[in-house]
Amino acid sequence: MSRWMRENYIKSRRELRLKVKFMPVVIIEMWEGRTDEQKERLIKGVTRAFEEIGVKPESLQIIIHDVPKRNWGTRGEQASKLTQ
């Protein structure tokens, strides 16, 4: 890599770090079965909560993992067996 490329790469990384101070990521793990509308309300609610502490919505990432009950263990059992 040439000196010019290295200096410009470093400069662009610094500029990026200055623009993106932090990007919170919220990961929600829950049993599958919620509707898209319920997930949308959940995302909006989490976003509002973060806005209240000064996080801009465009800086927030929310990931929802729908976990099948057969893949969730609790109290030594599969959740699918406990919630039948």
Domain that includes residue 51, residue range = 21-82
Contact between residue 57 and residue 69 where contact means Cβ atoms under 8 Å apart: no
CATH number of the domain encompassing residue 42: 3.30.429.10
Q: Is residue 16, in this structure, part of any structural domain at all? A: no
50-53 long-range contacts, CB within 8 A, separation 24+: 50/24, 50/26
pLDDT at 48 over 80: yes
The pLDDT confidence band at residue 39, using thresholds 50, 70 and 90, is very high
Mean pLDDT of all residues belonging to the chain: 85
Number of domains in the chain: 1
| Catalytic-role residue among 14, 24, 44, 68 | 24
The more confident residue out of 23 and 70 is 70
Give 5-38 pLDDT, tens digit per residue.
Answer: 666 665 665 555 555 566 899 999 999 999 999 9
Our answer to whether residue 57 is catalytic in this structure is no
In our burial notation (b when 16+ CB lie closer than 10 A, e otherwise), range 36-71 reads: eeeeeebbeebbeebeeeeeeeeebebebeeeebee
